């Protein structure tokens, strides 16, 4: 298969296999965005005179045909084609001949992949936001069912003060609201069209970048061509940071539910269908899905570090190192989507054991309220604190 960079020599087979890596597989998730960007690019080339209207119509028909093949899983990228960009151009050459060779005018694989990735990332961010909102609905439903039930909260993994399930569940709701704000800021930065920046140093030809950006639904043009290339890796790092913030909150949800559903604590009841069993111990019902939610957060944090380590210390310009970013970012999006779905399911089925919660509100848990009743009678806080501590028989070295 011909390559976009073909120069009349054969690449060593081991080098070819090594440099392609998993790109021909990963790019099957990217290819439809590259097709859409190619349509907009071809239309722009027609506007500025590099393609005739007839040539554009030929290309458009062929690209629409390719898009249908992709959507119906009837198209694949061969390893020899390296990536979706070559696969698209090879398809166009088969469909329309020499006209296809004009579509790469005024672009590079560098700004081509940047554009397709930005379009893909925008869709992924929208989907994650929708899943967060669905989880927030489950949290509200949980709160409406069980919110008034009080229980002993913990500090230092010891019983501390009373709280209720409305405060608890809506704390996570608010955390997810923060995550949505982070998603929107990230979306705004990514919502810049890099097409037309070439390999990072611009295109020495008259093009209409604003037209292409508008056609592709970008909020603005990313004007500086060097920054367009520098933003690859930077924006991926930002994406992974936002995803790790979401997984961090889900990790905390999971840890609380595991702890609160301990039989010894018993505030929460996990239904059997959300638990797995032991191959040895007949009595065991294990919160494995929640444990995996915790663990997957750590994987995303690791991917975040992998990302920044791939791109730091690189000089200005494109480097093949960046090829490895695609897989880790897409994997992280996949993980976060699964985590949100699982936690939505958990909160939809989670129940509260009112009796256990009421039993947790023992005398010492209410001690701070007693302190403030004394404060309300005019006793200084420090004196009231000591009075209640003495009543409870707490020695000085036992206070926390």
Going by the DSSP 8-state scheme, the letter that residue 262 receives in this structure is S
Given CA atoms 32, 34, 35, 37 in this order, what sign does their dihedral have? positive
Distance, CA of 47 to CA of 214 (rounded, Å): 14
Distance, CA of 379 to CA of 275 (rounded, Å): 51
Catalytic residue among 156, 169, 231, 283: 156
Spell out a b/e string for 276-305, using b for 16 or more CB atoms within 10 Å of the CB, else e: eeeeeeeeeeebebbeebbebbeebbebbe
Q: Is 278 a catalytic residue?
A: yes
Q: Is 85 a catalytic residue?
A: no
Q: What does the block give as tokens for 263? A: 């039989």
Pairing of β 276-277 and β 268-269: unpaired
Q: Angle 202-111-39 (CA atoms, 0-180°, nearest 5)?
A: 110
Q: Which residues pair with 276 in a beta bridge?
A: 286
Given CA atoms 308, 310, 313, 319 in this order, what sign does their dihedral have? negative
Task: Give the E-state strand segments of the chain in sequence order.
Answer: 150-155, 158-164, 192-193, 220-221, 268-269, 276-277, 285-286, 351-352
Catalytic residue among 52, 78, 144, 278: 278
Instruction: Return the number of other C-beta atoms located less than 10 Å from residue 53's C-beta.
Output: 8
Cα–Cα distances in angstroms (integers) from residue 18 to residues 76, 181, 323, 326, in the given order: 20, 40, 12, 16
Give the residue among 188, 197, 184 at the shortest CA–CA distance from 109. Answer: 197
Instruction: Return the number of other C-beta atoms located less than 10 Å from residue 206's C-beta.
Output: 9
Q: DSSP readout, 274-329? A: G-EE-SS-TT-EE-HHHHHHHHHHHHHHHHHHHHHHHHTTPPSS--GGGGGHHHHH
Given CA atoms 113, 304, 256, 388 in this order, what sign does their dihedral have? negative
Quickly tell me which residue has 């919660």 as its tokens. 357
What is the set of active-site residues? 156, 278
């Amino acid at each position: 298969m011909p390559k976009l960079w073909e120069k009349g020599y054969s690449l060593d087979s081991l080098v070819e296999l090594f440099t392609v890596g998993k790109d021909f597989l990963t790019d099957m998730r990217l290819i439809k965005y590259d097709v859409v960007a190619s349509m907009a690019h071809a239309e722009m080339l027609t506007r500025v005179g590099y393609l005739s209207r007839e040539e554009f119509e030929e290309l458009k028909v062929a690209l629409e045909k390719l898009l249908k093949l992709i959507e119906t899983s009837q198209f694949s990228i061969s390893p020899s084609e390296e990536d979706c960009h070559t696969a698209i151009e090879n398809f166009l050459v088969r469909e329309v001949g020499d006209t296809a060779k004009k579509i790469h005018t005024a672009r590079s694989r560098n700004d081509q992949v940047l554009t397709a990735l930005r379009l893909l990332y925008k869709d992924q961010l929208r989907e994650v936001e929708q899943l967060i909102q669905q989880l927030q609905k489950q949290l509200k439903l949980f709160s409406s069912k069980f919110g008034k039930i009080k229980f002993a909260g913990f500090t230092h993994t010891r019983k501390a003060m009373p709280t209720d399930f409305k405060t608890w569940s809506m704390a996570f709701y608010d955390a997810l609201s923060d995550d949505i704000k982070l998603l929107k800021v990230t979306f705004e930065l990514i919502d810049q069209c890099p097409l037309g920046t070439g390999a990072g140093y611009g295109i020495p030809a008259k093009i209409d970048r604003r037209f292409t950006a508008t056609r592709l639904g970008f909020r603005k043009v990313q004007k500086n061509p060097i920054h367009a290339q520098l933003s690859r890796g930077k924006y991926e790092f930002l994406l992974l940071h936002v995803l790790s913030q979401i997984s961090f909150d889900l990790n905390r949800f999971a840890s609380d539910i595991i702890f609160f559903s301990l039989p010894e604590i018993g505030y929460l009841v996990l239904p059997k269908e959300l638990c797995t069993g032991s191959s040895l111990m007949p009595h065991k019902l294990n919160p494995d899905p929640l444990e995996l939610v915790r663990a997957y957060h750590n994987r995303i944090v690791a991917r975040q570090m992998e990302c920044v380590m791939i791109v730091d210390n690189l000089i200005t310009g494109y480097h093949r190192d960046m090829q490895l970013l695609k897989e880790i970012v897409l994997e992280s999006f996949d993980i976060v989507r699964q985590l949100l779905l699982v936690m939505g399911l958990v909160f939809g089925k989670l129940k509260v054991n009112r009796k256990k919660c009421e039993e947790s509100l023992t005398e010492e848990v209410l001690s701070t309220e007693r302190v403030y009743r004394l404060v309300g009678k005019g006793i200084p806080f420090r004196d009231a604190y000591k009075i209640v501590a003495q009543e409870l028989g707490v020695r000085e070295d036992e206070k926390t």
